[in-house]
Structures are given as structure tokens and as C-alpha cells.
Amino acid sequence: MAYASVIAGSAVIRGNVRGDTSLEILGRVEGDVGVTGDLSIGPDAVVVGTVSGARVLVGGSVEGDVTGTEAVIVADTGRVIGDLVAPRIGMSEGAHVRGAVRTEGAPSVRSVPRAISEPRSAAPVERPRPVVAAPPPPLAVAVPAGTVSKPAAAAPAGAKKAPPPPVIPAPRPGVRARKKLARR
């Protein structure tokens, strides 16, 4: 996306930044940043202050709260020390966030009263039935030659399943563990 304004990577701004367009920050801003359009914070950018915009993409470092009227996205190179607030919030694997994450501003289905969300009529409303797919066929398991496999017995309806055996067998009760010596 082409941004209307860009703060260059070598720029250092001490003070608040406000605007009615989109903004891309590649340098350092020490103050609050608020735009009505989209806001992008580059991977090497640093913002010390609160940040707000329509869609906020954090690729650099922000020390302050981040608010988006539409969405906040923290990229894998992003680091936020502060709260994230937006109707939609996304974080890439590797993103660092220290603070509260709140999805606010989007109407949720739970917040709408049932009487308003469903129209009343004299005739009952026929709702579509969910489509249920057939279960997948059982997987074929290769059994080494000379072994006999027994079919699994069906458990009674109220019985609990036993946990699977441990990957590493536990020592018998009363036996002390031995230290493994490295072979040299």
C-alpha cells in the first residue's frame, strides 16, 4: 500500500504526530502518533508513546498502547510493551507483546439481546440442518511378520479410558534412579 506520509529511517521526531491520512514510520518518534488512516511501523522503527490509526501494522518497537479502529497486526519482527485494543487483533509467530489484549469496538453476537437478534413470527422458522460428513476410513497399520495383533476391546459407556503408556518407562516403586554415565 502506498502511504501518504513517510517518516524516514534516519529521522528522529520528538513530539506528537497527528494526521488525517495514512502514515509509514521508518525512523524514531518520541511522542504520541494518531492518524485516521492506516499506520505502518517499519521493522527498524521505534515509537515511544501511544499509537492509533484505522489499521495499525507493527513491525518495529512500540513502547505504549496501540489502538486500531479496524485492526491491529503485530508482525514477527514487532515488539509492543503496552496494551493492544482493536476489533480485530493479529499476531505473527515470533511477535512480542507485553500488555493486555482487548478486542473492543466490534459488535459481538453475545452482546445483542436474543429478542433483537432473532425475528419473531407466527410460523416457526425452519433452520437448515448441519451437514455431517462420514467418518474417515480407519488407517491401515503395518504389522511385522510373525506378530499377532488383537482387536481392541470396546470400553463400556461409562468407563474412563486409561492413560497411554509413558514414553520413558518409570522406575518401579521403591527403586532409586541411577545416574547415567557418559561413555568416553
- pLDDT tens column, 56-66: 999 999 999 99
What confidence score (pLDDT) does residue 158 get?
Answer: 63
What confidence score (pLDDT) does residue 4 get?
Answer: 79
| 80 vs 123, higher pLDDT | 80
Name the least confident of 23-32, 131-140, 156-165.
131-140
Segment 98-144, tens digit of pLDDT: 999 998 765 444 444 444 444 454 555 555 555 555 555 555 555 55
Residues ≥6 apart with Cβ < 8 Å to 141: 149
SS3 166: coil
Name the least confident of 2-11, 134-143, 171-180.
134-143
Per cent of the chain over pLDDT 90 is: 46
Cα 91 vs. chain centroid, distance in angstroms?
5
| 3 vs 139, higher pLDDT | 3
Report the alpha-carbon distance of residue 163 to residue 161 in Å, rounded: 6
Report the alpha-carbon distance of residue 184 to residue 180 in Å, rounded: 12
What confidence score (pLDDT) does residue 174 get?
Answer: 73
Of 41-45, 141-145, 154-158, the range with the highest mean pLDDT is 41-45
Cell numbers 509467530: residue:
93
Average pLDDT over residues 3-26: 90
Average pLDDT over residues 5-25: 91
Residues of the chain by 3-state class (helix, strand, coil), percent to 5: 0, 30, 65
pLDDT reading at 50 higher than 80: yes
Q: Which three cell numbers stand for residue 184?
A: 568416553
Which of these, 26, 22, 48, 25, lies nearest to 35 by C-alpha position? 22
What confidence score (pLDDT) does residue 118 get?
Answer: 47
pLDDT reading at 167 higher than 70: no
- Domain limits, the chain: 5-94
Q: Is the pTM of this model over 0.85?
A: no
Q: What is the mean pLDDT of the chain?
A: 77
Q: What is the residue type of 85?
A: V
pLDDT reading at 177 higher than 70: no
